[in-house]
Amino acid sequence: MENYHIYNEIGRGTHSSVYKARRKRSIEYVAIKSTAKSRRDKILNEVPFLHKLDSPHVLKFLDWYESSNHIWLILEYCVGGDLLNLLTQDKQLPESVVKSFGFELVAGLQYLHANSILYCDLKPGNVLIDEFGSLKLADFGLARRIPGSGTPPARPLAPGSPHYMAPELFQQTAVHSFASDFWALGCVLYELRTGRQPFIHTTFSELARMIQTEAMQLPLSDCGMSLEFCDLLRRLLEKDPYQRITWDELVVHPFWDGLPRLANVDMPPQTIFDKGSSLSLEFRYFRSLESKDEPPDEGEAVTADDEIDSISHGLPDPFRVMQDHVIMSAVNNEVRAPNLETHDLPNNDVDPDDDTYDDQADQGSSGKLTGRRPLGANDLRCLKLHLLLPVLFEDNGHEDIKFS
């Protein structure tokens, strides 16, 4: 790291910080991402993807270093920040801008998919803007190779950020695909135009139910959204991944008329996600289970920060305790929650509509989760989903980074 002058912090996540820096004896500015060494395996999952990627729509990876306490990634510096910050300032964007941005996102995804890479975490906070206003896909911590034939890993990587997760990712065997990346693309385009996510709720269980069962609500016809844009959103946000838009259909969709035509690139097969596979039948079976009506529960709300932390970075200890309790309750026919110790949780004072609550901005005052009460319908559905999802449990602490 002695080759760089390190300046101010420009971003902070649950497990990492990003700094603006300059290579010594040059005018080359870079972004340096610092992560605690305890997350070495996670970071080294990202490095192979970044090292091999070469696209104007993907953030450039320059180098990496390992010190006694941290891992440092040297990345391209994007002066425009990310789409999340842009949305926070402007609230919503005109359709002409959404069209241009969407085209670049599609080009970036096309490059990744053609190279057998699933992005798995497309959201405004992971899309950076360079000095020319072009978009760059960043943060490949959840990216993975397209799985081959056979059974998926027993403990795959965390699925992603709940508000951008496709319905099939809430099922027993969560397998990412082109279709799940397309769903996230639809969520981002919807959010850029309307200023809000297509599905919003403060509890994870209800959010999961909405994503799997409720229809997307488009604004009124006089909102300035074209028929072509509305059709694209409907095709991207189709519940059934096997009915969702395909690459052949996406690149020729009329919404892109007036822009350069994207080439129809040959894509690698997705053997594990074929229509005839057991995953296809499993998806439909669990959708039918989740669509059954259950009365609402007035239980404790989980903030948006909690939801994202529980999926992207492992469940907090209270949920782990409750999972164990559910298993024991099935044997003892009990339906009461165990005593839960008090645990720090991310900031609860967050307005879901301003969309500044993802894992890139989970700072601020902490709330508490404690108490003992009966488990309601939403609690049970939430616990069922968490038990079904093979989520990795890990420490959520962040080690402060100091420079001498």
* CATH number of the domain that residue 119 is part of: 1.10.510.10
Pairing of strands 4-12, 16-23: antiparallel
Structure tokens at 103: 């085209």
Q: Which residue has the tokens 């559905």?
A: 381
Residue 398 domain-assigned (yes or no): no
Strands (E), 26-85: 29-36, 61-66, 70-76
Q: Are 141 and 71 members of one domain?
A: no
Give, as one character, the DSSP assignment of residue 24. T
Q: Are residues 320 and 277 in the same domain?
A: no
Residue 10 φ/ψ, nearest 5 degrees: -115, 0
Residue 55 lies in a domain: yes
- Residue 274 confidence (pLDDT): 58
Range of the domain at 166: 83-289
| CATH code where residue 12 lies | 3.30.200.20
Among 76, 104, 138, the domain-final residue is: 76
Q: What are the residues facing 127 on neighbouring strands?
A: 137
Sign of the CA dihedral with 37 first, then 39, 42, and 43 last: negative
Domain presence at residue 314 = yes
Same domain, residue pair 235 and 99? yes
Query: Is 33 annotated as contributing to ligand binding?
Result: yes
The CA radius of gyration of the chain, in Å to the nearest whole number, is 21
My answer on whether 276 and 311 are in the same domain is no
Contact 110, 56 (CB under 8 A): no
Alpha carbon 143 to chain centroid distance? 10
On the 0-12 / 13-18 / 19+ scale of CB atoms within 10 A, 324 is exposed
Instruction: Assess whether 101 and 142 both reside in one domain.
Output: yes
DSSP conformational letter for 255: G
Q: Is residue 403 part of a domain?
A: no
Residue 26 φ/ψ, nearest 5 degrees: -155, 175
Residue 29 domain-assigned (yes or no): yes
Residue 94 lies in a domain: yes
Q: CA neighbours within 13 Å on the CB side: how many for 147? A: 18
Separation of alpha carbons 233 and 235, rounded Å? 5
Q: Are residues 255 and 108 in the same domain?
A: yes
- 276 and 359: one domain? no
Q: What is the pLDDT of residue 68?
A: 82
Domains in the chain, number: 3
- The answer to whether the Cα torsion of 42, 207, 154, 266 is positive or negative is negative
Active-site residue, from 121, 139, 297, 358: 121
Residue 11 shares a structural domain with residue 109: no
Judgement on whether residues 226 and 333 belong to the same structural domain of the protein: no
C-alpha span between 273 and 297 (Å, rounded): 35
What CA–CA distance (Å, rounded) separates 89 from 84? Answer: 9
Do 281 and 183 belong to one domain? Answer: yes
Task: Answer yes or no: is 253 within a domain.
Answer: yes
What's residue 221's pLDDT? 59
> Within 13 Å and on the Cβ side, how many CA atoms surround 391?
30
The stretches in the chain having pLDDT less than 50 are 151, 153-157, 276-377, 379-404
Half-sphere exposure in the Cβ direction for 396 (13 Å, CA): 22
pLDDT of residue 220: 62
User: Which of 61, 76, 91 delimits the end of a domain?
Assistant: 76
130 is catalytic: no
Q: Domain boundary residue among 76, 96, 122?
A: 76
| Local structure of 388: helix, strand or coil | helix
The pTM of the full predicted model, rounded to 2 decimals, is: 0.67
Statement to judge: residues 118 and 251 lie in one domain: yes
Residues 71 and 90 in one domain: no
Considering the domain boundaries, does residue 52 fall inside one? yes
Question: How far, in Å, CA of 319 to CA of 298, rounded?
Answer: 18
* Residue 56: per-residue pLDDT: 93
Q: Which helix (H) or strand (E) holds 368?
A: strand 367-371
Amino acid 259: pLDDT: 94
